């Protein structure tokens, strides 16, 4: 009995020991393995991408005995605890607060219009991110490998993007001379800007929201700030008909700065100012006494411009001489005029438009070295007009553009210019750097019985078309698939059918009628004046092409040929790009010649773009100030 009583007495102790062992076993750490892709996804997850707080913020909440659900339900008390509780260093505290406020803003951001509470949340998020980046002990450079910093920059950029969009909506309601205004409980100072547009933008589009088809690459520069496309209004209907067009679509980077010079002052401030920067002019921006690399998207303005241009249909209407086409050449600036950048002028070919350069211009502007030192102008002209007419009008348009932007002729931009022409644009580019002398007057069927007065008037009328000299500003030219000696393709049945559909511009017909009248003698008789259209001009038997094929190029101009080779077989001299024979595109005396396997649109090939980049770099090396 005594043994049994002792045995029963130990049972409660044994039960308690077993319970403790069980509890201890339940608290033991377990382990599992994630797939590599899951590891990457988990590291990248944050409130922007996955709608869940990042691992860094979750850990910060754990330190102060909070979780994501509690912070969603009791946001004010959650942020108050995070802001003042011990156990978090400043970097963890500020980065967590930035993401918490961003989550708050995202929950309230339900449509295109942002209410004041949501705007305030975005500003709070941006301010905490700004404080983290510039007012904690470590500099951004010292945290360059921290994943937390990359996330905080993303929080800042997104918040700034949404804030700027809301502020832009407020601008029309402010007076022209405003210096500061109140918005969502914040004092907003007038933006500090160095972006030069001909008029205040009517649209401000986040570059991050744009995706493009037809562009091989999107060129960005990593750095601080949010990227936008600023869209200026179109010219007014009664605006002067100038031959140049300043860009309506401009790259812009927005940076939000907050009042204060210490961490405490920044966290207490409710004052903010937007720095609007032109990323073509600015590679960095000064913030809190530091020079910070400035982010940029250089492709977005160009892509948006092309997508909205309507060039494809307009170029066909221009070729056929129909309503809706252009009637005179235009010089289109791809970025705001910069007197310190060298200028590259691009001329498209027959039935084409600036879209011919879609990837060429993008790749040039995407090359950091070339972008720093070059600006691109594109000449858009009606390709139904005869080459002589377009040559004269393009020369006048370029001269007027140069005089407008550089009236004294003193800037770097109007010295050492480069011409790049494709197909018929290459022929025109060559003539822009050539001397005609008196060699083209033989094209005029002058009657022997013309009076001296009529002969004088005739020469005065024809001189702009038949007598020209090289552009003095140009010292480099690149000709791509250019039919300098014409092409037999222009005599084929399909080409002749297209030629018959073309209507010459009314201004050309009117001018040629006047010239025809001058060719008549006093009896009303005279040699007929035949006016070729652009397709006729490209024939290898056309009188104008034959007369101009050997005009001397200025000795001060280095020129290069890029030639397509379609279905290569046999001798090079017998080959073509499917449209232009090699013998027509080849020019003796070229500084370089590259033959690329390609159809006639050789300018679109990566090899041609690489060659153009090489030529531009060499040109830059010779012309560096």
- Condensed to tens digits (0 to 9), the pLDDT of residues 118-151 reads 999 999 999 999 999 999 999 999 998 999 999 9
Q: Name every residue whose Cβ is closer than 8 Å to that of residue 137 and which is 6 or more positions away in sequence.
A: 90
207 — pLDDT class (breaks 50, 70, 90): very high
- Condensed to tens digits (0 to 9), the pLDDT of residues 276-289 reads 999 999 999 999 98
44 — pLDDT class (breaks 50, 70, 90): low
- Residue of higher predicted confidence among 609 and 200: 609
Phi, psi of 287 (to 5 degrees): -135, 130
- Residue of higher predicted confidence among 293 and 319: 293
Percent of the chain surpassing pLDDT 90:
69
The confidence score (pLDDT) of residue 319 equals 84
448 — pLDDT class (breaks 50, 70, 90): low
- Condensed to tens digits (0 to 9), the pLDDT of residues 486-516 reads 999 888 877 777 777 778 777 776 776 677 6
319-327 average pLDDT score: 86
Q: Decide if pLDDT at 13 tops 60.
A: yes
All domains of the chain in start order, with CATH:
43-162 (no CATH), 310-623 (3.40.50.1820)
The confidence score (pLDDT) of residue 270 equals 97
The confidence score (pLDDT) of residue 49 equals 87
446-472 average pLDDT score: 82
Q: Decide if pLDDT at 308 tops 50.
A: yes
1 — pLDDT class (breaks 50, 70, 90): very low
Q: Can you read off the two tokens belonging to residue 441?
A: 């007057």
Mean pLDDT over each residue of the chain, to the nearest integer: 89
- Condensed to tens digits (0 to 9), the pLDDT of residues 242-270 reads 999 999 999 999 999 999 999 999 999 99
The confidence score (pLDDT) of residue 365 equals 83
Beta strands in 105-246 (DSSP E): 180-183, 186-193, 203-206, 220-221, 226-231, 244-245
Contact 605, 422 (CB under 8 A): no
- Condensed to tens digits (0 to 9), the pLDDT of residues 24-42 reads 555 567 777 766 655 545 5
Compute CA 545 distance to the chain's CA centroid, rounded to the nearest angstrom. 36
Contact 299, 362 (CB under 8 A): yes
Contact 335, 298 (CB under 8 A): no
Q: Decide if pLDDT at 561 tops 80.
A: yes
Which of 47-56, 273-282, 418-427, 587-596 has the weakest average pLDDT?
47-56
Q: Decide if pLDDT at 527 tops 60.
A: no
- Condensed to tens digits (0 to 9), the pLDDT of residues 452-462 reads 777 788 888 88
**Long-range CB contacts (within 8 A, 24+) of 585-589:** 585/479, 585/481, 585/482, 585/483, 585/484, 585/561, 586/561, 587/430, 587/479, 587/484, 587/553, 587/559, 587/561, 589/553, 589/559
418-436 average pLDDT score: 98
Residue listed under structure tokens 């937390």: 148
The confidence score (pLDDT) of residue 535 equals 85
The confidence score (pLDDT) of residue 223 equals 93
Beta strands in 427-567 (DSSP E): 474-480, 558-565
Q: Decide if pLDDT at 402 tops 70.
A: yes
- Write out the DSSP string of 360-422: HHHHHHHSHHHHHHEEEEEEE--TTS-HHHHHHHHHHHHHHHHHHH-TTS-SGGGSSEEEEEE
Percent of the chain surpassing pLDDT 70:
89
Q: Decide if pLDDT at 625 tops 70.
A: no
């Amino acid at each position: 009995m005594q043994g049994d009583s002792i045995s029963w007495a130990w049972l409660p102790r044994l039960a308690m020991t077993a319970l403790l062992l069980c509890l201890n076993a339940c608290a033991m750490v377990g382990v599992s393995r994630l797939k590599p892709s899951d590891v990457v996804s988990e590291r990248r997850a944050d409130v922007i991408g996955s709608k869940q707080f990042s691992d860094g913020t979750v850990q910060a909440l754990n330190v102060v005995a909070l979780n994501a659900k509690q912070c969603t339900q009791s946001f004010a008390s959650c942020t108050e605890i995070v802001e003042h509780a011990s156990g978090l260093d400043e970097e963890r505290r500020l980065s967590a607060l930035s993401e918490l406020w961003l989550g708050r803003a995202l929950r309230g951001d339900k449509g295109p219009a942002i209410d004041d509470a949501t705007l305030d949340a975005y500003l709070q998020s941006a301010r905490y991110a700004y404080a983290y980046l510039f007012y904690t002990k470590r500099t951004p450079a010292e945290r360059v490998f921290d994943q937390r910093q990359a996330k905080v920059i993303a929080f800042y950029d997104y918040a700034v993007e949404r804030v700027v969009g809301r502020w832009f909506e407020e601008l029309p309601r402010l007076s022209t001379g405003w210096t500061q205004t109140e918005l969502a409980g914040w004092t907003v100072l007038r933006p500090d800007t160095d972006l030069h547009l001909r008029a205040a933008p009517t649209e401000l589009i986040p570059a991050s929201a744009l995706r493009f088809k037809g562009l091989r690459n999107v060129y960005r520069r990593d750095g601080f700030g949010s990227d936008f496309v600023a869209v200026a209004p179109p010219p007014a209907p009664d605006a002067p008909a100038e031959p140049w067009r300043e860009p309506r679509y401009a790259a812009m980077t927005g940076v939000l700065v907050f009042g204060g010079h210490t961490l405490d002052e920044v966290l207490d401030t409710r004052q903010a100012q937007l720095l609007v920067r032109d990323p073509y002019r600015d590679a960095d921006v000064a913030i809190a006494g530091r020079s910070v690399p400035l982010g940029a998207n250089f492709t977005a303005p160009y892509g948006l411009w092309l997508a909205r241009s309507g060039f494809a249909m307009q170029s066909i209407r221009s070729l056929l001489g129909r309503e809706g086409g252009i009637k005179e050449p235009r010089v289109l600036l791809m970025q705001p005029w910069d007197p310190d950048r060298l200028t590259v002028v691009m001329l498209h070919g027959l039935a084409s438009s600036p879209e011919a350069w879609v990837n060429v211009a993008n790749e040039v502007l995407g090359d950091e070295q070339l972008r720093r030192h070059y600006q691109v102008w594109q000449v858009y002209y009606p390709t139904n007009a005869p080459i002589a007419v377009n040559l004269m009008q393009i020369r006048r348009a370029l001269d007027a553009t140069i005089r407008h932007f550089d009236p004294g002729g003193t800037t770097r931009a109007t010295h050492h210019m480069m011409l790049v022409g494709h197909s018929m644009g290459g022929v025109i580019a060559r003539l822009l750097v050539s001397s005609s002398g008196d060699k083209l007057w033989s094209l005029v069927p002058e009657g022997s019985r013309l009076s001296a007065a009529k002969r004088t008037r005739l020469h005065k009328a024809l001189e702009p078309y038949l007598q020209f000299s090289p552009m003095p500003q140009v010292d480099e030219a690149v000709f791509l698939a250019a039919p300098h000696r014409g092409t037999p393709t222009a005599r084929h049945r399909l080409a002749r059918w297209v030629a018959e559909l073309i209507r010459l511009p009314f201004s050309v017909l009117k001018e040629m009628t006047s010239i025809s009248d001058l060719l008549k003698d006093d009896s009303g008789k005279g040699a007929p004046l035949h006016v070729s259209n652009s397709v006729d001009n490209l024939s290898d038997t056309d009188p104008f092409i034959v007369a101009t094929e050997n005009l001397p190029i200025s000795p001060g101009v280095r020129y290069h040929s890029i030639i397509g080779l379609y279905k290569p077989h046999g001798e090079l001299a017998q080959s073509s790009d499917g449209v232009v024979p090699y013998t027509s595109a080849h020019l003796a005396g070229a500084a370089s010649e590259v033959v690329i396997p390609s159809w006639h649109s050789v300018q679109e090939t990566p090899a041609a773009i690489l060659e153009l980049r090489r030529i531009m770099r060499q040109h830059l090396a010779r012309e560096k100030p």
